[in-house]
Chain A
Amino acid sequence: MKIQQYTYLKITFFLAAISAILSSCEREISEDFVLATFPATAEIFTDVPVGLTDQFFISFDPAFGANTEGFGTDNNEAFHGTSSIRIDVPSPNDPAGNFIGGIFKDRGEGRDLSGYDALTFWAKGTLTGTIEVGFGTDFITDSHSVSSKIQLATGWRKYTIPIPDASKLTQEKGMFLFSAGSFDALANDDVSDASSFEDNIGYTFWIDELRFEKLGTTKLLFPYILDNNELEIDDFIGSKTMIDGLGARFGLEDGQNISIKASSTYFNFSTSNPDVASVTALGEAIVIGEGTTNVSATLAGQLAAGSLTINAIGSFDNAPEPTESASNVISIYSDSYTNVNAFNPGTFAGPNTDNISLQTIAGNSHLNYESIDYVGIGWDGSVDVSAKTMVHLDVQLTSGANSNLIMELIDFGPDNDPGNGLTNVGGDGTAGGNNISSQLVEGEWVSIDIPLTRFILSTGGGGFGNPNKNNIGYVVFVSNNGASFLVDNIYFY
Chain B
Amino acid sequence: MKKIMKYIIQPLIISLGLLLSGCESNEKQTVATLTNLVWADEFDNNGSPDSTKWNLVTGDGTEQGIPGWGNNELQTYTDNPENITVQNGVLIITAKKESLEGKSYTSARINTKDLYQQKYGRFEARIKVPTGKGLWPAFWLLGDNDDGRLVWPQVGEIDIMEYLGDKPTTMFGTVHGPGYSGGASISKEYKLANNRFDNGFHIFGVEWSPNRINFYVDGDLYQSLTPENIEEETNGEAEWVFNRPFYIILNIAVGGNLPGSPNEDTSFPQRMLVDYVRVYN
Task: List the interface of chain A (C-beta within 8 A of B).
Answer: 214-217, 219, 221-222, 249, 251, 253, 255, 257
- Which of B133, B167, B199 has a CB less than 8 Å from the CB of A219? B199
Once the chains are docked, how many angstroms separate the CA of A214 from the CA of B166?
A: 20
Q: Give residues 157-212 of B contacting A (CB, 8 Å).
A: 165-169, 192-196, 198-199
Task: List the interface of chain B (C-beta within 8 A of A).
Answer: 131-133, 165-169, 192-196, 198-199, 265, 267
Q: Are B198 and A219 in contact (CB under 8 A)?
A: yes
Q: Are B195 and A217 in contact (CB under 8 A)?
A: yes
Counting chain B CB atoms within 10 Å of each CB, the highest count among A215, A249, A251 belongs to: A251
Q: Are B131 and A251 in contact (CB under 8 A)?
A: yes
Q: Are B196 and A217 in contact (CB under 8 A)?
A: yes
Q: Are A255 and B194 in contact (CB under 8 A)?
A: no
- Of all A-B residue pairs in the complex, the 6 with the closest CB atoms, nearest first, are A255-B166, A216-B194, A216-B195, A257-B265, A217-B196, A253-B169
- Which of B132, B133, B168 has a CB less than 8 Å from the CB of A217? B168
**Which of chain A's residues have a CB closer than 8 A to the CB of B198?**
219, 251
Q: Are B196 and A216 in contact (CB under 8 A)?
A: yes
In the complex, 10 of the A-B residue pairs with CB atoms within 8 angstroms, ordered by the A residue number, are A216-B193, A216-B195, A221-B265, A222-B267, A249-B265, A251-B132, A253-B196, A255-B166, A255-B167, A255-B168
**Which of chain A's residues have a CB closer than 8 A to the CB of B194?**
214-217
Known: A214-B194, A216-B196, A255-B133. 4 other contacts (CB 8 A): A217-B169, A219-B196, A222-B267, A255-B168
Q: Are A221 and B267 in contact (CB under 8 A)?
A: yes
**Which of chain A's residues have a CB closer than 8 A to the CB of B168?**
217, 219, 251, 253, 255
Once the chains are docked, how many angstroms separate the CA of A222 from the CA of B270?
A: 13
**Which of chain B's residues have a CB closer than 8 A to the CB of A216?**
193-196, 199
Q: Determine the residue in chain A with the shortest Cβ distance to B164.
A: A255
**Which of chain B's residues have a CB closer than 8 A to the CB of A215?**
194
Q: Determine the residue in chain B with the shortest Cβ distance to A253.
A: B169
Q: Determine the residue in chain A with the shortest Cβ distance to B198.
A: A219
Q: Nearest Cβ distance between residue B88 and chain A, in whole angstroms? A: 19
**Which of chain A's residues have a CB closer than 8 A to the CB of B166?**
255
**Which of chain A's residues have a CB closer than 8 A to the CB of B133?**
255
Q: Nearest Cβ distance between residue B57 and chain A, in whole angstroms? A: 28
**Which of chain A's residues have a CB closer than 8 A to the CB of B267?**
221-222
With A255-B167, A257-B265 as given contacts, are A219 and B195 in contact (CB-CB < 8 Å)? no
Q: Nearest Cβ distance between residue A214 and chain B, in whole angstroms? A: 7
Once the chains are docked, how many angstroms separate the CA of A251 from the CA of B132?
A: 8
Once the chains are docked, how many angstroms separate the CA of A257 from the CA of B196?
A: 14
Once the chains are docked, how many angstroms separate the CA of A257 from the CA of B199?
A: 15
Once the chains are docked, how many angstroms separate the CA of A222 from the CA of B131?
A: 12
Once the chains are docked, how many angstroms separate the CA of A138 from the CA of B73?
A: 50
Q: Nearest Cβ distance between residue B272 and chain A, in whole angstroms? A: 16
Once the chains are docked, how many angstroms separate the CA of A221 from the CA of B270?
A: 12
Once the chains are docked, how many angstroms separate the CA of A251 from the CA of B198?
A: 11
Once the chains are docked, how many angstroms separate the CA of A221 from the CA of B266?
A: 10
Q: Nearest Cβ distance between residue B198 and chain A, in whole angstroms? A: 6
**Which of chain A's residues have a CB closer than 8 A to the CB of B199?**
216, 219
Q: Determine the residue in chain A with the shortest Cβ distance to B195.
A: A216
**Which of chain A's residues have a CB closer than 8 A to the CB of B265?**
221, 249, 257
Q: Nearest Cβ distance between residue A215 and chain B, in whole angstroms? A: 7
**Which of chain A's residues have a CB closer than 8 A to the CB of B196?**
216-217, 219, 251, 253
Once the chains are docked, how many angstroms separate the CA of A149 from the CA of B97?
A: 30
With A251-B168, A255-B167, A257-B265 as given contacts, are A221 and B195 in contact (CB-CB < 8 Å)? no
Q: Nearest Cβ distance between residue B264 and chain A, in whole angstroms? A: 10
Once the chains are docked, how many angstroms separate the CA of A23 from the CA of B141?
A: 53
Once the chains are docked, how many angstroms separate the CA of A255 from the CA of B170?
A: 11
Once the chains are docked, how many angstroms separate the CA of A219 from the CA of B165?
A: 12
**Which of chain B's residues have a CB closer than 8 A to the CB of A222?**
267
Q: Nearest Cβ distance between residue A353 and chain B, in whole angstroms? A: 32
With A253-B196, A257-B265 as given contacts, are A221 and B169 in contact (CB-CB < 8 Å)? no
Counting chain B CB atoms within 10 Å of each CB, the highest count among A215, A219, A222, A257 belongs to: A257
**Which of chain B's residues have a CB closer than 8 A to the CB of A217?**
168-169, 192, 194-196
